[in-house]
Structure 1
């Protein structure tokens, strides 16, 4: 029978193609054979790491922390830019402020203030190497002339070195700046904070200024409208003879005054009538009869006193001398003279009371006549007041709007110098004590050694696999010539 497993002379033998996989023993054997390669790879990785650490330019990061409170300071009641956010909008406000910090309006003043356009780290000088220049010309990598502004280049570089983020569940914004100089990083971070505060104040002042300018421009037309309304009211008053004093129509004021004067005149007339009636009743009385106080006069009092004294003397003489004594005739004559004088004084008092009454009655009649005339004028004015009140309402409305705009314009003008933003720095940037990149050799070297060992182990396993799977010529064993021959024949 033919044996297909018989090898022919000179036939190559392949080893390991049929093995399904490697076991741990085979792996350890291969690693042990390539231990030198593994150690050499680890040492080479450490050396490369040391060279890389030596060649790398260290960078330093400084951090500035800003607290952005969504609720502004309550300085005045009706501020233009007061923020009173809802419960879920505070985070959006804080996130918006992170974008503001990275904007040109904040970063450009920092570039100009710190003169970063002349810093080699931010604006690199163009290469003078002919190969580099030729390669750029070939690939058209040169920037246009309009894009070569040093300030813009420094601004673009600053953005790559700047990081702004908000810590989760807080309103604290962290501003990171990474440069080759720790003091420069801190200086730039603090300058960004100052520029951000200045930009916020400027934005609020600009908003107040725009509002103030808009209100001031509107005030001109509002003032013109008030003047036109006042002119209409004045013309209407003149056309309808509606004269006002102290805010009241003259006819209304006269009507009130005349009513008061009529009451006073009526009282005065009644008093004069009462005095006249009493004076007339007094005329029929005796000479020694007591008079009302309103009819008393100095002359009447003297006459009555003289009459009383003479009456007493006459009575005493009549008692002592008798009624028929010659001396009594003179006494009676004096009494008759005093009675005549008293009667004449009574007539004078009656005449005076009559004149007072006539004067009071005439005054009352004149006041009543004037009152009737003013009432007629007031009735006509009431009809004219319908149109006047409509004009007054329009004037009051325009004046109220004008005064409101005028007050608001003054407030917004003052708000230009008021900043109520609730922003503050809770942690200023300081120079970093340790570099941010590259990492510390305590971390890099062990990691490089481990990676080198891993690479060496991979190379050792690959080398062992190639050695075992390589093609090798086989020698014909002694005594197998006939079987090999039969196999060749077959």
Structure 2
């Protein structure tokens, strides 16, 4: 019988003992014993990889490269959308253009142009299995009727097959398209590039058209404003009798003309006075005295020439015949006749000079009188010109704004047909020669073999460790003591 009162002697019962770590020899023995498992695992992994490569549908990727230069082409001086970015804003412009490529305005025309809505790769036929339909309804995976449009579905699918990225420190944007057909990938990538350029041109054209329409609409109001200002100027001139000619007030032009006329009249009066004074001094001179050029006349020249000839003849006769000769009396009588004629011509010259002087003086007085009236009128016009100049400044300002808007409206209207964006394709998409997914068997099969062998080795080590652990496990110490006491 088992005596519960007996004191137990001996070693205490071992509740647990940690197995010793396996050495290298044990690990090699386990691997050698599990060679079959390792080989079988490696072969199985290679077979599964081959089956997977055959089951997976290969996809092909085509790449389109677009250069987005932040600085537009300098075609005209006042371009509406001309970009002259700062040094640190070019990257932001390139990133923004990358987002534009992924927008609906670029991708939807591609879907419609290539008919991707009828492509089975982009639009899958809905399942008719009642179980699948019931599960989708239960989980809320069935889209509403309004979202079942084929083009919308194709657009969403295209986004999953599209990749747009910008290379580091460049303005080159790479557009990736991955489909089951290499030709289709290249065709879609090139179509995206065409749609992007068309969208950029359309956006610039729309911006120019909006600006042109806004300017044209504003021109009507500006034109009325200019016409109103011109009407005020005309009415003010009529009310104040401010007549202009050649851009100048008539009174100012008359004043300038009268000043010139007064100078000319004063000069003529002075000349006439000088001739009159010389003519009066000439009256007391002898008949043979030379006369100033201004008093010379044809009649006077003939008389003086005849008198000089007669005086010379008389002197010769007096020398030859003597002073008391009867022939000398006739010579002296002829001299006295010529002297009377010369004196009469002098008086006529004096009278003519006097009349010229009187006319010149009268003309000068008339010009002075007209000038005085013009000065009085100009003084009144100057006071009226203060208001006129203010109205003209207002008119000039309105006209300048109107002409600026008119010129800008014409420029923006022409820019609708002008594209100066500095975008270009530097590498068109071409059909890929190699698939992008799944990877090549040269990569997959060695990786599958290594993974299979590693898994087999792990299984072999685990089996060997379990087998050696079962053989080395000793009987519990407490069990032997119980058997001894019972005996």
Same fold (TM over 0.5): yes
Unaligned 5+ segments in structure 1 are 6-15, 476-481
Counterpart CA distance in 2 for 1:392 and 1:128 is: 83
1:122 and 1:154 in contact (8 A); partners too: yes
Counterpart CA distance in 2 for 1:139 and 1:270 is: 121
Task: Report the alpha carbon displacement of residue 419 of structure 1 after superposing the two structures with TM.
Answer: 2.7
Counterpart CA distance in 1 for 2:9 and 2:446 is: 59
1:377 matched to 2:383? The reply is: no
Aligned ranges for residues 321-470 of structure 1 at < 5 Å? 321-463=321-463
Task: Report the alpha carbon displacement of residue 111 of structure 1 after superposing the two structures with TM.
Answer: 1.8
Counterpart CA distance in 2 for 1:234 and 1:109 is: 59
After superposition, give the CA deviation of every residue in 1:305-327 in whole Å (9 maximum; x if it has no partner).
22222223333334344444444
Counterpart CA distance in 2 for 1:323 and 1:483 is: 211
2:10 and 2:481 in contact (8 A); partners too: no
SS class of match (1:75): coil
1:60 matched to 2:60? The reply is: yes
Distance 1:424 1:487, change over 3 A: farther
Task: Report the alpha carbon displacement of residue 440 of structure 1 after superposing the two structures with TM.
Answer: 0.7
Task: Report the alpha carbon displacement of residue 22 of structure 1 after superposing the two structures with TM.
Answer: 4.7
Counterpart CA distance in 1 for 2:481 and 2:376 is: 159
Task: Report the alpha carbon displacement of residue 295 of structure 1 after superposing the two structures with TM.
Answer: 0.7
Alignment-derived partner of residue 86 in structure 1: 86
Alignment-derived partner of residue 115 in structure 1: 115
After superposition, give the CA deviation of every residue in 1:101-128 in whole Å (9 maximum; x if it has no partner).
1111111222222222222222223334
1:110 and 1:192 in contact (8 A); partners too: yes
Alignment-derived partner of residue 22 in structure 2: 23
Aligned ranges for residues 260-299 of structure 1 at < 5 Å? 260-299=260-299
Aligned ranges for residues 9-158 of structure 1 at < 5 Å? 18-20=17-19, 22-24=21-23, 25-129=25-129, 131-137=131-137, 139-158=139-158
2:162 and 2:175 in contact (8 A); partners too: yes
After superposition, give the CA deviation of every residue in 1:312-354 in whole Å (9 maximum; x if it has no partner).
3333334344444444443333333222222221111111111
Alignment-derived partner of residue 479 in structure 1: none
Counterpart CA distance in 2 for 1:172 and 1:144 is: 40
Counterpart CA distance in 2 for 1:101 and 1:21 is: 65
Distance 1:488 1:442, change over 3 A: farther
Distance 1:357 1:346, change over 3 A: same
After superposition, give the CA deviation of every residue in 1:398-424 in whole Å (9 maximum; x if it has no partner).
222222222222222233333332222
1:72 and 1:83 in contact (8 A); partners too: yes
Task: Report the alpha carbon displacement of residue 438 of structure 1 after superposing the two structures with TM.
Answer: 0.6
Alignment-derived partner of residue 308 in structure 1: 308
Counterpart CA distance in 2 for 1:91 and 1:378 is: 68
RMSD between aligned residues: 3.0
- Equivalent residues, number: 474
1:17 and 1:469 in contact (8 A); partners too: no
Distance 1:483 1:397, change over 3 A: closer
Counterpart CA distance in 2 for 1:152 and 1:21 is: 66
Counterpart CA distance in 1 for 2:139 and 2:281 is: 139
Alignment-derived partner of residue 258 in structure 2: 258
Counterpart CA distance in 1 for 2:255 and 2:349 is: 36
SS class of match (2:75): coil
1:3 and 1:487 in contact (8 A); partners too: no
Unaligned 5+ segments in structure 2 are 1-6
SS class of match (1:404): helix
After superposition, give the CA deviation of every residue in 1:112-154 in whole Å (9 maximum; x if it has no partner).
2222222222222333445544544555543322212222222
Alignment-derived partner of residue 171 in structure 1: 171
**TM-score computed with the length of structure 2 as normaliser:** 0.88
2:232 and 2:391 in contact (8 A); partners too: yes
Mean Cα displacement is larger for which, 272-281 or 82-91? 82-91
**TM-score computed with the length of structure 1 as normaliser:** 0.88
Alignment-derived partner of residue 218 in structure 1: 218
Counterpart CA distance in 1 for 2:137 and 2:410 is: 62
Distance 1:484 1:318, change over 3 A: closer
SS class of match (1:177): strand
